[in-house]
Structure 1
Amino acid sequence: MTELMATAVFLFVLFALLGGSVWVGLALMGVAWVGMELFTTRPAGDAMVTMIWAASSSWTLTALPLFIWMGEILYRTRLSEDMFRGLAPWLRGLPGGLLHTNIAGCTIFAAVSGSSAATLTTVGKMSIPELRRRGYPEPMIIGTLAGAATLGLMIPPSLTLIVYGVSINESITQLFMAGVIPGLVLASLFALYIVGWHYVRPDQRPAPEPRMGWGETLAESRFLIPVLLLVTAVIGSMYLGYATATEAAAVGVIGALVLAFAQGSLNWTTFATALMGATRTSAMIALILMGAAFLSLSMGFTGLPRALAAWIDGMGLSPITLIAALTVFYIILGMFLDGISSVVLTMAIVEPMVRQAGIDLIWFGIFVVVVVEMAQVTPPIGFNLFVLQGMTRHDIGYIARVALPMVGLMLLMVVILVAFPQLATWLPETIRQR
């Protein structure tokens, strides 16, 4: 009975605060404070200060603002223009033509950003006008870009994976390794969708691009070299064991500054703007993590996570059934919260259930990222929808509609992950054994 009362109180206070437009981090702290006052004898203020300090002082968490800063620096360089010039000669001959630059560009930039919004803005500011000028259909331009930009949440360095790892105390490097193959598989699904469109709707194809010789193709490819070197330095240093996630993030920041300087994009204004942008984003995420840590403590005192895990265990649900239920749960939650908020808000309750069911937590992290990716392109709070609206002036309903096939492909990715869990677990297990 106490657990049911606690659940009702937590949900009522949470929805009241979020409905009142209170920041997510402060709303979580408010819910936790009420829970501590009503259901425990421990002083709420003392508990809050202790948990907030513990959540804020994690060395692992240092990687978060560094990766955000790296993405902010690169966003202010000519990276998008250079990527398009370097990718176009290799992709123009594929079925679907230069639409593949949306997928390839987002995949590459995701490997140096970690943010879906930064990936979308950086790639979109160059690909959208170029593809429009060449006559590609607007629904395909916008839809494929909206879907491919979510790869920023999956392909390392992923901010969502960092937050997930900190929330459940798992290795960030292991999670990054786990995200590589599923991220590439999801990118391949998006590319296959473009190939299918090419053959199913030949009437929508633009005029073929003029052929380029090998010499010209290789010459244009030089524009990809800087970003590929940066990806290799950041990701390779982690996977080869030379650096932790935090150290690799520091390497990435230095590399991004060098790249911006070499392109002539680095000046005091660029530096200060990127630093302040990273500070604002990092502070927002840190506030959410602080609130989530305090809420986890509060719910732990009520026994709610343990009771819910025991209840789920008593139902005898198979792991697949539990994953199916959690997929629906996160899709619904993602309609109202961004991905990071969804992760930190639910981990205190979901983690015991997942452990009880015997589900690998590294695999589950990749699953969570895939389902919260959908939240980026589903109304009413799909963040990518708002970014694309600002870039294209299209109605949000139109953007959500043309992005719907991408959501279907993400659901297919969930099925593939369930059927072939080794996609997420093979690489971290292989490298860990060496």
Structure 2
Amino acid sequence: MKVSIIGSGYVGSVSAACFAELGHEVICIDIDERKVQMINDGIPPIWEEGLGDLMRKHAEKNLIATSDYDYAVQNSDVSFICVGTPSNEHGNIDLSIVGHACKSLGMAMAKKDGFHIVVVKSTVVPETTEEIVLPLLEEHSGKVAGKDFGVAMNPEFLREGKAVYDFMNPDKIVVGSIDERTGALVAELYRDLDCEVTRTTPRTAEMIKYVNNSFLATKISFSNEIGNICKRLGIDTYEVMKAVGADFRISEYFLNSGAGFGGSCFPKDVRALIGKSKEIDYYPSLLESVIEVNELQPLQMLELLEKHAGNVKGKRVAVLGLAFKNQTDDIRESRSIPVIRRLLELGADVAVYDPMAADNMKELIENIKYCDSAAEALKGAVACLVMTEWDEFRKLGPEFEAMKNKVVIDGRKMIDPENLEEDIVYEGLCW
């Protein structure tokens, strides 16, 4: 089939490259001419494992990019909206970018003969597709949904760092459509993937996405809450959760205690669902607690720091890990951010290292020392805070000897204390 993808960020780039790999003809639409040129040159606008290989393979063959909506709509059967849906100042979802995309799509569809399908892949709260996207498309195209064009919601369930793999090896595909014809055509795009397609309504598909992410976030905050209790009781929370996770009703995933969750999905999506719930006069106390636990969790790293290192004013503190998780350069909602900002408030001389995310963090926080290795960051430090689960941190040992005051606070259970010299003080966040 012929597919156009609006937005070349995380979801858009991965979807475009993977649809091309599945044999579809793909046109990426982006108002940023730099990104358009990058895609046409086979260069991904974002870093994601395996994405560069796919883009180089398909660029200017069955994958091209343009800033021209008219061209893209005229030369495709299905248009996917893959633009950002950030949180506004109150934590609710900001649909302004989606609205602009709908307006541009509608104007382009007005000039096209024949049936065209618009699919929302951006994460949007329930009722958005039917009550905001559909009316905007009708208004700007002058056409009738369900008759002249189709509308569907097809959420993504991709892990950053493993998004290409997840797209090509899905555990679920959800298509919510306003009519049978549209749903069948969208489902057909995934025909070559070994996964059953769940067919439903747009608002149910929207809700499935939010419930999926909110439940995973809840497991993390629950595990962190239990970890905090276990630590005060002298119990190894990892031993507890290993046994608990063996229960098939619970499973072992997302039970690791630590500094909390971040990224572009979990925090934003939980807040958006909270906001939507309040709009319909329901107060979601459990979801509010999920966010509260997550906001407080990284600050406990600083309590442990003060316990072992005392006043850090004018002293060097090393922070290892800036990305919100390993295998990505994404720092959105990273748990390192509140920790670094608090260290700066305390007057610490902060030295940081991350193998991928330093450039992104530099755009957010400037007045810290960015190092090229963990060893460089640790040199002369009175303490070290481990914030991201990069595999290379597991191998650290001799590097800690260069510290001035050897205190290691581990927020991700990356360091094996048995491999450390006796003069190093080690403490885990929840163990």
Query: Do both share a fold (TM > 0.5)?
Result: no
Q: TM-score normalised by the shorter chain: which range applies?
A: under 0.3
Higher helix share: 1
Higher RCO by CA contacts (8 Å cutoff, separation 6 or greater)? 1
Q: Which has the larger radius of gyration?
A: 2
User: TM-score, structure 2 length as denominator?
Assistant: 0.28
Higher strand share: 2
User: TM-score, structure 1 length as denominator?
Assistant: 0.28
